[in-house]
């Protein structure tokens, strides 16, 4: 629970405090004053001031011109862009994602599993959709939602088990899968169908359909999904939409060098990986 990073028992006070400042600016409001920072981090304002000064010099944070509060700096955007550069399929995914948004008329997402959570890498909105606040870069629990379940479904069983143990299965709506058994059954269905249906597990009124993306090696490296209000993604439209999502997912996978033939026994592949870890 307390520390899921296996490695390095090291502590470096200044550094941890500084990273704490960045993390706080990311999670709590977008702008915080010096005092707010020092209070929430339980640091002396003097200490905070010094750290903030250095972070600002390096452009990791910046001072708002209006109110003098601090917010994350554009250097972080630079670093962040570089951080995902090695996910070379992301670039290719964009066009497919775009097409998916157009064809379904819903918002399309590209996600990966990172540190046991779903990380949203990219988003495309259909032109007419009501604009929703950006969720790119945000993290969500993996045990609910179309993308999350898709990603978990093709993960070695043990990984899923550990994840459940460390993060739990928090309920967000009355449909959220909250027991390991429910989750296991849910993931089995995803593997069987080839796509995942959210079923308002994360938020009431929000429906979502996900499908896996495989690279040349057959590994599931990402998931794409569409999300929209339940009054548009209805029970009856769902099968057609799911087909579209899967179709685009297949195309993208093919684009990444994946050949369906190799996939005759998906669950087997999963088990193999499990063996390795075991």
Partner DNA sequence: ATACGGCATCTCAAGATATGAGACATAGTT
Partner DNA sequence: AACTATGTCTCATATCTTGAGATGCCGTAT
Query: CB under 5 to 8 A by kind: which of a copy of itself, DNA, none does 68 bind?
Result: DNA
Which stretches within 3-88 are classed as H helix?
13-27, 34-41, 45-57, 74-83
Instruction: Give the max Cα distance, the chain.
Output: 63
The reply to whether 51 sits near DNA by the rule CB under 7 A is yes
Select the residue interacting with DNA from 40, 50, 189, 191 (CB under 7 A): 50
| Sole window of 33-41, 78-86, 147-155, 177-185 interacting with DNA (rule: CB under 7 A) | 33-41
157 pairs with which residues across the strands? none
Q: CA 270, CA 178: separation in Å to the nearest integer? A: 23
Containing 222, the helix (H) or strand (E) segment is strand 220-229
Alpha-carbon gap, residue 276 to 10, rounded angstroms: 29
Least separation in angstroms between residue 268's CB and DNA is: 27
Place of tokens 């999963």: 270
Stretch binding DNA (CB under 7 A), from 37-45, 100-108, 183-191, 259-267: 37-45
Question: Using CB under 7 A, which of 43, 76, 126, 238 touches DNA?
Answer: 43
| Contact between 237 and 244 (Cβ < 8 Å) | no
Minimal distance, residue 235 CB to a copy of itself, in Å: 31
Task: Please state the closest distance from residue 253 (CB atom) to DNA, in A.
Answer: 30
CA 12 – CA 141 distance, rounded (Å) = 29
Q: What are 111's two structure tokens? A: 């996600």
Residues 6+ apart with CB under 8 A from 215: 89, 221, 253, 256, 257, 258
Among DNA, a copy of itself, none, residue 35 binds (CB under 5-8 Å by kind) = DNA
x/- track of binding to a copy of itself for residues 49-88 (CB under 8 A): -xx-xxxxxxxx----------xxxx-xxxxxxxxxxx--
Q: Which residues in 96-155 contact a copy of itself (CB under 8 A)?
A: 98, 114-115, 119, 121, 125, 127, 131, 134, 136-139
Residue 12 makes contact with a copy of itself by CB under 8 A: yes
Does residue 71 interact with DNA by CB under 7 A?
no
Q: Work out what residue 257 binds among DNA, a copy of itself, none; the CB cut-off runs from 5 to 8 Å by kind.
A: none
42: left (phi over 0), alpha (psi -120 to 50) or beta: left
Number of amino acids touching DNA (CB under 7 A): 22
- List of residues contacting DNA (CB under 7 A): 7-9, 11-15, 17, 33-35, 43-47, 49-51, 68-69
């Amino acid at each position: 629970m307390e520390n899921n990073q296996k490695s390095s028992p090291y502590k470096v006070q200044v550094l941890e405090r500084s990273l704490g400042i960045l993390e706080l600016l990311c999670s709590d409001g977008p702008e915080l004053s010096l005092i707010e920072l020092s209070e929430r981090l339980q640091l002396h304002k003097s200490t905070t001031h010094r750290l903030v000064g250095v972070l600002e010099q390096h452009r990791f944070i910046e001072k708002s011109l209006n109110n003098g509060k601090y917010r994350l700096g554009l250097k972080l955007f630079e670093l962040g862009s570089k951080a995902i550069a090695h996910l070379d399929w992301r670039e290719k995914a964009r066009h497919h994602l775009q097409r998916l948004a157009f064809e379904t008329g819903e918002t399309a997402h590209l996600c990966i599993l990172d540190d046991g959570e779903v990380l949203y890498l990219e988003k495309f909105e259909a032109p007419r959709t009501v604009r929703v606040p950006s969720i790119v870069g945000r993290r969500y629990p993996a045990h609910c939602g179309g993308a999350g379940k898709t990603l978990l479904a093709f993960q070695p069983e043990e990984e899923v088990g550990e994840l459940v143990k460390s993060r739990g299965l928090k309920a967000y709506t009355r449909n959220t899968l909250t027991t390991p058994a429910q989750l296991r059954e849910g993931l089995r269905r995803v593997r069987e169908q080839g796509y995942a249906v959210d079923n308002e597990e994360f938020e009431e009124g929000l429906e979502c359909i996900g499908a896996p993306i495989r690279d040349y090696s057959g590994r599931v490296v990402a998931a794409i999904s569409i999300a929209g209000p339940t009054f548009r993604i209805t029970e009856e439209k769902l099968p057609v939409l799911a087909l579209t999502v899967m179709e685009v997912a297949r195309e993208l996978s093919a684009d990444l060098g994946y050949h369906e033939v190799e996939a005759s026994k998906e669950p087997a592949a999963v088990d193999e990986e499990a063996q390795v870890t075991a």
